[in-house]
A and B are shown apart, each in its own frame.
Chain A
Amino acid sequence: MAKYRIMFSKTGAAKYVAHLDLNRIFERSCRRAELPLAFSQGFNPHPKISFAVPLAVGVSGEKEFMDIELTEDLKTEDILNRLNDSLPSGIKVLDVRRVDESIKEKPLMARVNSADYRIECEVEAAIDQQQVDKAVTALLSSESLPIERVTKGKTKVVDIRPGVLNLKGQVTDNIIVIETELRTGSNGNVKPEELLKQLQMVGLPIDDCYCNITRIGVYSEGEANKELW
């Protein structure tokens, strides 16, 4: 058995592929690439593929992570090339490294707790930088940002302010580019759409506009090496 960490991007048409489908796409791509995937034991064996953190449908990912286990030890560049020759358009492997399993570490999924996003919002009319700065400052100086979330038919009020770790906004003509670091994962997760709604409430004119959301990195904040690489 050999475990590998894979850094990949999911952009273009592939950003509309849902997480479960992505799992299957990788499984099939590995088979096409003739990479010997390891399977779980039991009545219903599953390939050993695990992702750091799912991407929402419609959100691109520039630097995503996953682990796969193979039954054979292969050269990392071999894995990279073979996979890239077998993936559908929009999904690309950027790098592969061998995971040293003698070093105990938490599973990839449990480690991710923050993510950087770039959100491009196209607004109808040109706006100035001051307006953007004002909204960003207003949001960052709020003590709490309560939002309503519906889970299993129940509405709950959640404060997302602690989950907004960083926020910047830059405007060129009629495009506002927002860069933000948000809490991600099982604790205090904030969706980029939720942040957008809050920005709208503090006066950013992004009502009904087209927003292109890209996750540009996922991190394990607080660990010595926050990069998952």
Chain B
Amino acid sequence: MQQKLERLLPQVQKPARYTGGEWNSVTKDWDSVDVHMAFAFPDVYEVGMSFLGLQIIYNLVNQRQDALMERTFAPWVDMEELMRKHDIPLFTLESRRPVKDFDILGFTLQYEMTFTNILNMLNLSGLPLKSSDRDESMPLVIAGGPCAFNPEPIADFFDLVVLGEGEEVINEMLDAYKDARAANLTRQQLLLKLAKIEGVYVPSLYEVEYLESGKIKSVTPKQPDVPAKINKRLMRDVDNAPFPNQPIVPNIGAIHDRVMLEVQRGCTRGCRFCQAGVLYRPVREKTPETLMKQAEEIIKSTGHDEISLTSLSTADYSKVGPLITGLLDQHSGKGVNVSLPSLRVDAFSIDLAKEVQKVRRSTLTFAPEAGTQRLRDVINKGVTEEDLIKAVSAAFESGWHAIKLYFMIGLPTETYEDLDGIADMAKAVVKAGLEKGVSRGRLKVTVSTSSFVPKSHTAFQFEPQDTLEELKNKQQYLKSKLKDRFVSFNYHDSSTSFLEAALARGDRRLCAVVSRAYELGCRFDGWSECFKYDLWLKAFADVGLDPKWYAYQRYDYEDVLPWDHLNAGVSKRYLSLEHKRAIKEQPTIDCRGGKCPGCGLCPSMDIEPLVLGGNDDGQV
């Protein structure tokens, strides 16, 4: 295979995607370990290598004496074609072994539009797509990641799915796997054993029944010793959680090619559309001491020149100010910068941005999400127009001259007045820029909109998506409203968002659609140059299902949702309450301040938010 591969590589774009050999990658002796696991990222190398979760799990498994982990990514279309033509199976980068030789193949589910890539990777590995068609000789195919919280549309393809944070459960699974093999358990016996580990969901052990309306009647375990509800896993002590101090350094530019220093897990803001805000609850901040130490070790082991402070909302981290000062003091002399992936809409964020960007890049990005105060109250985005104007004025004064604003269209209760609000906000930002003396040649305001996709486990899981037609009308309306020499407008393709909604809120019947779409040739659906909308529509039609039924479905609070048996910790009762508050335009308090809005997670999982709090202007 090695030789065949050598001949193919010169013929593809970016051959370094497939060669491995990066600094800090680990190639263990195959025969020296008991369990061989491959981490599969269902997108190209550059995207996968930007994913912190891969580095965390890779480090954890390879730390074990008895196990190894290697990586595999979705080959780009040119490589896939050659692999098929020359009979090269999907292989791992480290040892260039066929994925089929491994004991466990673990996918991460980051985005619905990678589902067909998963099937393609299974097929390229020479594995049957369906779990029920795979035999004892084949690897266990498992998955984790955010989309694991509604894995129903791809449930048939996985032997098991892990809910929540993987640091502990991966080790429990590897131990159980080893024991099971030593005890000569069958695949079925092994799955039953694994199903008893907290956080592990074995789809084949559950029966789904449907009502005549097409909604779900029930999801019930087929056996008495399998839990009816699967609870997510979470790390109690994030500060002491294993963190990859020697992450792999890609040889070719990844999307995020820098130190990813995770400052906290979770977010307390409670934006009602946000799934990550629920899945990663509660907030758990790391101490600045730990972070300083980790940053130092990672800089040393990688040679990176930039530290990105990552989390869902880094400006909220209690010690963000002192941490930045401390990191700059220690590392800026060696040409190392600090960066913030996202900014809050306030002047405090501008101060942080000023601190980290000695040289002003041209553009700052903010996400007000909605155009009017009314709609921002509906989504519980605690941002006012005054906050935004203060923030952008401070930015203009400090030398920035381009502002990018992110909004969502199609949010529940949205009217054309809310769209006018988006245009008004953009104009107010232009006005602030001119008032602050930004030159007319350089001032630029970009409005970027995405289409709202209702996601499971959020307050808006009950809500239908706007129709495709309505979304397109809204985009055109905004386009006409945003005709201004200083403003440019761009928007995401709404047909992608439509399918995303159908899949994100889908049930098990969609497995047939995903596999049909794959057969018809869908791949890399998240890449606009590869996305084939009509093939997806054909796949739905061939199977006899309607994507509109899924995307435009309004659920009642009492309905059994396809993912109700998968517990992210926030109660459905609370999500219903949040939904009612949304309709009444009532905000919800942020639990960072110590007051509990009662989402139900902490008592049910016996945990508390960990906020360091205190005065954040001291030195580290």
Inter-chain contacts of B20 with A (CB < 8 A): 13
Inter-chain contacts of B10 with A (CB < 8 A): 58
Interface pair A58/B305, CB less than 8 Å apart: no
Flag whether B15 is at the interface (Cβ < 8 A).
yes
Flag whether B356 is at the interface (Cβ < 8 A).
no
Inter-chain contacts of B595 with A (CB < 8 A): none
Interface pair B21/A27, CB less than 8 Å apart: no
Q: Could you say which of A82-90, A138-146, A160-168, A173-181 contacts chain B?
A: A82-90
Inter-chain contacts of B19 with A (CB < 8 A): 13, 16
Flag B292-336 by CB within 8 Å of A: 1 or 0 each: 000000011111110000000000000000000000000000110
Given A21-B251, A28-B304, A45 contacting B335 (CB threshold 8 A): yes
Given A13-B20, A44-B359, A58-B10, A18 contacting B335 (CB threshold 8 A): no
A227 to B10, CA, bound (A): 30
Flag whether B16 is at the interface (Cβ < 8 A).
yes
Flag whether A39 is at the interface (Cβ < 8 A).
yes
Inter-chain contacts of A14 with B (CB < 8 A): 21, 251
Q: Could you say which of A29-37, A92-100, A151-159, A199-207 contacts chain B?
A: A29-37
Interface pair B252/A18, CB less than 8 Å apart: yes
Inter-chain contacts of A58 with B (CB < 8 A): 9-10, 15
Inter-chain contacts of B305 with A (CB < 8 A): 27-28, 31
A17 to B19, CA, bound (A): 10
Contact residues on A (Cβ < 8 Å of other chain), bracket: 20 to 34
Inter-chain contacts of B23 with A (CB < 8 A): 28-29, 32, 86-88
Flag whether A25 is at the interface (Cβ < 8 A).
yes
Given A27-B305, A32-B302, A88 contacting B15 (CB threshold 8 A): no
* B:530-563 near A, CB below 8 Å: none
B547 CB, nearest partner CB in chain A, Å: 41
- Considering only CB atoms, which chain A residue lies closest to B334 in the complex? A31
Inter-chain contacts of B85 with A (CB < 8 A): none
Kindly identify which residue among A16, A32, A90 contacts B300, using a CB–CB cutoff of 8 Å: A32
Given A45-B335, A88-B22, A16 contacting B9 (CB threshold 8 A): yes
Flag whether B124 is at the interface (Cβ < 8 A).
no
10 contacts between A and B (CB under 8 A): A13-B19, A21-B251, A28-B305, A32-B23, A32-B301, A39-B335, A44-B359, A58-B15, A87-B23, A210-B6
- Considering only CB atoms, which chain B residue lies closest to A39 in the complex? B335
Interface pair A32/B303, CB less than 8 Å apart: yes
Interface pair B21/A89, CB less than 8 Å apart: yes
Inter-chain contacts of A43 with B (CB < 8 A): 359
Flag whether B521 is at the interface (Cβ < 8 A).
no
A113 to B183, CA, bound (A): 68
Given A86-B303, A89-B21, A16 contacting B253 (CB threshold 8 A): no
A14 to B10, CA, bound (A): 13
Inter-chain contacts of B22 with A (CB < 8 A): 88
Interface pair A21/B16, CB less than 8 Å apart: yes
* B:261-314 near A, CB below 8 Å: 299-305
- Considering only CB atoms, which chain B residue lies closest to A24 in the complex? B253
Interface pair B303/A29, CB less than 8 Å apart: yes
Flag whether B249 is at the interface (Cβ < 8 A).
yes
Interface pair A17/B359, CB less than 8 Å apart: no
Flag whether A12 is at the interface (Cβ < 8 A).
yes
Interface pair A17/B251, CB less than 8 Å apart: yes
- Considering only CB atoms, which chain A residue lies closest to B17 in the complex? A16
* A:18-75 near B, CB below 8 Å: 18, 20-21, 24-25, 27-32, 37, 39, 43-45, 47, 57-58
A146 to B22, CA, bound (A): 41
Interface residues of B (CB under 8 A from A): 6-7, 9-10, 15-16, 19-23, 249, 251-253, 299-305, 334-335, 359
Interface pair B249/A28, CB less than 8 Å apart: yes
Q: A21-B252, A32-B300 are in contact. List 8 more A-B contacts (CB 8 A).
A: A13-B16, A17-B252, A18-B16, A18-B252, A28-B23, A37-B335, A45-B335, A58-B10
* A:166-209 near B, CB below 8 Å: none
Q: Shortest 4 CB-CB distances between A and B: which pairs?
A: A28-B303, A31-B303, A13-B19, A13-B21
B507 CB, nearest partner CB in chain A, Å: 44
Given A12-B21, A31-B305, A32-B301, A25 contacting B251 (CB threshold 8 A): yes
B20 CB, nearest partner CB in chain A, Å: 6
Kindly identify which residue among A32, A47, A88 contacts B335, using a CB–CB cutoff of 8 Å: A47
A71 to B302, CA, bound (A): 21
B88 CB, nearest partner CB in chain A, Å: 15
B394 CB, nearest partner CB in chain A, Å: 22
Kindly identify which residue among A16, A28, A47 contacts B16, using a CB–CB cutoff of 8 Å: A16
Inter-chain contacts of A17 with B (CB < 8 A): 16, 251-252
Chain B CB within 10 Å, residue with most, of A12, A13, A47, A58: A13
A23 to B334, CA, bound (A): 17
Inter-chain contacts of B16 with A (CB < 8 A): 13, 16-18, 21
B334 CB, nearest partner CB in chain A, Å: 7
Given A12-B21, A13-B19, A13-B21, A30 contacting B359 (CB threshold 8 A): no
A13 to B300, CA, bound (A): 24
A45 to B16, CA, bound (A): 28
B19 CB, nearest partner CB in chain A, Å: 4
Inter-chain contacts of A28 with B (CB < 8 A): 23, 249, 302-305
- Considering only CB atoms, which chain B residue lies closest to A213 in the complex? B10
Interface pair A90/B21, CB less than 8 Å apart: yes
Kindly identify which residue among A24, A30, A88 contacts B21, using a CB–CB cutoff of 8 Å: A88
- Considering only CB atoms, which chain A residue lies closest to B19 in the complex? A13
Inter-chain contacts of A89 with B (CB < 8 A): 21
- Considering only CB atoms, which chain A residue lies closest to B299 in the complex? A31
Interface pair B335/A57, CB less than 8 Å apart: no
A30 to B301, CA, bound (A): 11
A63 CB, nearest partner CB in chain B, Å: 21
Interface pair A210/B335, CB less than 8 Å apart: no
A29 to B301, CA, bound (A): 10
- Considering only CB atoms, which chain A residue lies closest to B3 in the complex? A210
Kindly identify which residue among A30, A86, A88, A210 contacts B7, using a CB–CB cutoff of 8 Å: A210
Kindly identify which residue among A13, A20, A27, A90 contacts B303, using a CB–CB cutoff of 8 Å: A27
A86 to B301, CA, bound (A): 9
B219 CB, nearest partner CB in chain A, Å: 47
Given A14-B21, A28-B303, A88 contacting B334 (CB threshold 8 A): no
A68 CB, nearest partner CB in chain B, Å: 14
Inter-chain contacts of A32 with B (CB < 8 A): 23, 300-303
Inter-chain contacts of A18 with B (CB < 8 A): 16, 252
Interface pair B359/A88, CB less than 8 Å apart: no
A120 to B21, CA, bound (A): 24
A210 to B5, CA, bound (A): 11
Inter-chain contacts of A86 with B (CB < 8 A): 23, 303
Kindly identify which residue among A20, A37, A57 contacts B15, using a CB–CB cutoff of 8 Å: A57
Given A39-B335, A47-B335, A57-B15, A88 contacting B251 (CB threshold 8 A): yes
A15 to B302, CA, bound (A): 21
- Considering only CB atoms, which chain B residue lies closest to A42 in the complex? B359
- Considering only CB atoms, which chain B residue lies closest to A210 in the complex? B7
Inter-chain contacts of A13 with B (CB < 8 A): 16, 19-21
Inter-chain contacts of B300 with A (CB < 8 A): 32
Inter-chain contacts of A30 with B (CB < 8 A): 303
Inter-chain contacts of B253 with A (CB < 8 A): 20-21, 24
